[in-house]
Structure 1
Amino acid sequence: MSLDTRISILVVDDDDIAIEMIQSYLTREGFLVFTASNGREAIEILEENDIQIVVTDWEMPVMNGLELCREIRCRFTDHYIYCILLTSRGRNDEIVEGMASGADDFMVKPFNPPELLARINAGIRLVGLETRDLVIFAMARLAESRDTETGQHLERVRQYSKRLAQEMARLPEFAQAIDGEFIRLIYQTSPLHDIGKVGIPDGVLLKPGKLTHDEFEIMKKHTIIGADTLDAALKKFPKAKFLRMARDIAVAHHEKWDGSGYPFGLSGMEIPLSARIVAVADVYDALTTRRIYKDAFSTDYAEQIILENSGKHFDPEVVKAFELCKDDFVQFIDQYSDEIDEPANYHATV
């Protein structure tokens, strides 16, 4: 049986005609709609189903809309449920009372369906933010538990990635591809670039010396493992752009512009833009920080390596952006230096 990935909405109203109208409209818009005739029935449905949005009338028997909103805020704390309160009441004091009960939005009857849809979509964006932050936090912590990298490595990589994206957004050819949302997403998801290392055996991941050919082949699989992990999350939240970008970064940040990278040997524009950006950020951090097999290289030397690999390892346009903001990278090194001066894992950037 396939998993239903539609957004779940609970409509609560004691008016059968209103219920039927709203349910029919929202179902056509692609939502999975549950219905209840009062707050008590609604609570039972909420206890048995994963509901993201509640649209409830104010005046109902058994348990009215205000009481339902208060109950939701008290009882359902494992995830946020967005509540829209519908009512014929429209005085300012009544609106304040409704919002104070725990409602997130307020609509005065009669209302038109497109307006309700717009308010529901606003709620989905808010709920999506919570889901995104929780997933990123959990996955990033999971990756840290399997690798000896410090948290500052992840912080520097996200800062480098964000700064590169900001600079590239100023280039005419990227004006459409890189907007404010892209910049926010790459900042949030770039720490997950090595999430797949959770599936690499300790004997390979934590080996203090050079990997053999067979060990390196095993290590390379962290890109596929990361993609599979994030694809599983995408099945649950198929509209989550942050998961899609995180997956692209995880699977492709070791691809190279000239096609000599892994896991698929992608080249040029075949490599997702987010992964091409993170590739520069990740390598720069590896060059400028100490590893068990080397001291930190100077920022001048790291810059030289990045420039020499333009058109080979790296997208020339990303390198162009790097040249424009390289001084900021140096500042990030100072700002996010490792608090504990211990060598990071040898295989941090394989």
Structure 2
Amino acid sequence: MDDTSAIRMVLSEILEPDYRVLTADDGRSALELLARESPDIVLLDVMLPDCTGFELCTRIKDDAATSDVPVIFLTSLERMEDQVKGLEAGAVDYLTKPVHPRVLATRVANQLRIKEAADVLRDRDSWLRDEVARRTRDVERTQEVAILALTSLSDTRDGETGSHSHRTQHFMRVLAERLKDHPRFSDHLDGATRDLLVRSAPLHDIGKIGIPDQILRKPGRLTDEELAVMRTHPGKGRDAIQRAEDALGGEVPFLRLAKELAYGHHERWDGSGYPEGKRGDAIPVSARLMAVADVYDALTSRRVYKSGMQHEQAMAFIVERRGTDFDPDVADAFAACGDEFAAIARRFVEEQERSAAEAVE
């Protein structure tokens, strides 16, 4: 871009044997040309009718669409401060008139080779980012398929447990979102962990696969002996997941959370839970959240041996036990988002009723 037609003509004669040359005589025309043509390189004078070349170079570099286009200043200004100013504006070279045609052609060719190499690297980086994103999605899908397969296996043993697992997954999402900025939980509930936590949630009862049918599907309350067997399911779930992790040859974050949920969701804040009687912050955060989600769903769901509580009754039960059964802050978070829990439970009931009606038809 130069405001002198004679100079633009000379430059064109030097470069056109090897390149397609487009010219503009002011800053506005130059920007319009850049937007329309996407050139590989820009030769720019400092003195333009409507702005300085320094200003135009800055605008070119500030625009994401043209920021990678190399700019070479070609000007009669020879002062060192002008050269520094041009390079600071983002130019890759600074030539003063008169310039020898071979010097100009060589400088342009060198910058184009550099740009070509940079474009190749940028394309490679973009491909790598896309490939990493694709493989990450594949891993996530594999995890989801594994969860679905294991949960479906659980469903074949106990349909109510399967529905319970899916509902608690939604409850966990609500609690994790509510607590993500809480001072006690923010370090444990970053975005990636929340996502893993929600996807792992359906595995919290996977240990029930190892419980005998006569206990798991008993149409009534369990005896003390049967209850003792039922209480082995957290350990069975953790051990099954651990075996899967061992087969992979190292710790997997996704499975670490799944183990915490499976093993710790029956622990109680005051130490009265099982299997280890852990108390307070010794209980993993994931298990503390699941404890609330699990109990709420158990209270509000109908079983063969009981009717489901109303939402308000279940809320009162959990809030009353803040600081004994449940982490006080988790119980408070539950109380604050109780309407969301009720909406989730209601949606599942409506979906089940609709499916039952369609089956009859």
TM-score category, normalised to shorter length = 0.5 to 0.7
Matches within 5 A, 1:39-54: none
Look up the match of 1:142.
153
Look up the match of 2:190.
179
Kept after mapping to 1: 8 A contact 2:301/2:309 = yes
Output the TM-score relative to the length of structure 1. 0.61
Q: 1:324 to 1:122 in 2, by over 3 A?
A: same
Tell me which of the two structures has the higher relative contact order, counting C-alpha pairs closer than 8 angstroms and 6 or more residues apart: 1
Q: Partner letter of residue 257 of structure 2?
A: M
Alignment partners' CA distance in 2, 1:226 and 1:212: 22
Shift of 1:122: 5.5
Look up the match of 2:166.
155
Determine helix, strand or coil for the equivalent of 2:160: coil
Q: 1:298 to 1:119 in 2, by over 3 A?
A: closer
Alignment partners' CA distance in 2, 1:150 and 1:307: 24
Shift of 1:144: 1.2
Q: Partner letter of residue 248 of structure 1?
A: E
Look up the match of 1:324.
336
Determine helix, strand or coil for the equivalent of 2:317: helix
User: Which aligned runs of 4 or more in structure 1 are off by greater than 4 angstroms?
Assistant: 115-124, 338-341
Look up the match of 1:69.
none
Kept after mapping to 1: 8 A contact 2:151/2:162 = no
Shift of 1:283: 0.6
Determine helix, strand or coil for the equivalent of 1:149: helix
Shift of 1:170: 2.5
Determine helix, strand or coil for the equivalent of 1:261: coil
Alignment partners' CA distance in 2, 1:218 and 1:164: 30
Structural RMSD (CA): 2.9
Determine helix, strand or coil for the equivalent of 2:181: coil
Cα displacement string for residues 321-346 of structure 1 (whole angstroms, at most 9, x for unaligned residues): 111111111111211216557xxxxx
Percent sequence identity over matched residues?
Answer: 40
Kept after mapping to 1: 8 A contact 2:267/2:277 = yes
Match 2:206 to one of 185, 188, 195: 195
Determine helix, strand or coil for the equivalent of 1:314: coil
Shift of 1:248: 0.6
Q: Partner letter of residue 144 of structure 1?
A: D
Kept after mapping to 2: 8 A contact 1:155/1:336 = no
Determine helix, strand or coil for the equivalent of 2:349: coil
Cα displacement string for residues 293-323 of structure 1 (whole angstroms, at most 9, x for unaligned residues): 2222111111110011111111111101111
Shift of 1:120: 7.9
Shift of 1:264: 1.0
Determine helix, strand or coil for the equivalent of 1:185: helix
Instruction: Count residues in correspondence.
Output: 236
Matches within 5 A, 1:242-321: 242-321=254-333
Kept after mapping to 2: 8 A contact 1:152/1:338 = no
Q: 1:116 to 1:159 in 2, by over 3 A?
A: closer
Shift of 1:116: 11
Shift of 1:128: 2.6
Look up the match of 2:235.
224
Cα displacement string for residues 217-267 of structure 1 (whole angstroms, at most 9, x for unaligned residues): 111111111001100111133342111111110011111111111111111
Determine helix, strand or coil for the equivalent of 1:193: helix
Alignment partners' CA distance in 1, 2:167 and 2:124: 45
Kept after mapping to 2: 8 A contact 1:169/1:175 = yes
- Structure 2, unpaired ranges of 5+: 1-114, 354-361
Q: Which has the higher helix share?
A: 2
Q: Partner letter of residue 301 of structure 2?
A: T
Kept after mapping to 2: 8 A contact 1:143/1:192 = no
Look up the match of 1:70.
none
Look up the match of 1:17.
none
Look up the match of 1:100.
none
Q: Partner letter of residue 196 of structure 1?
A: G
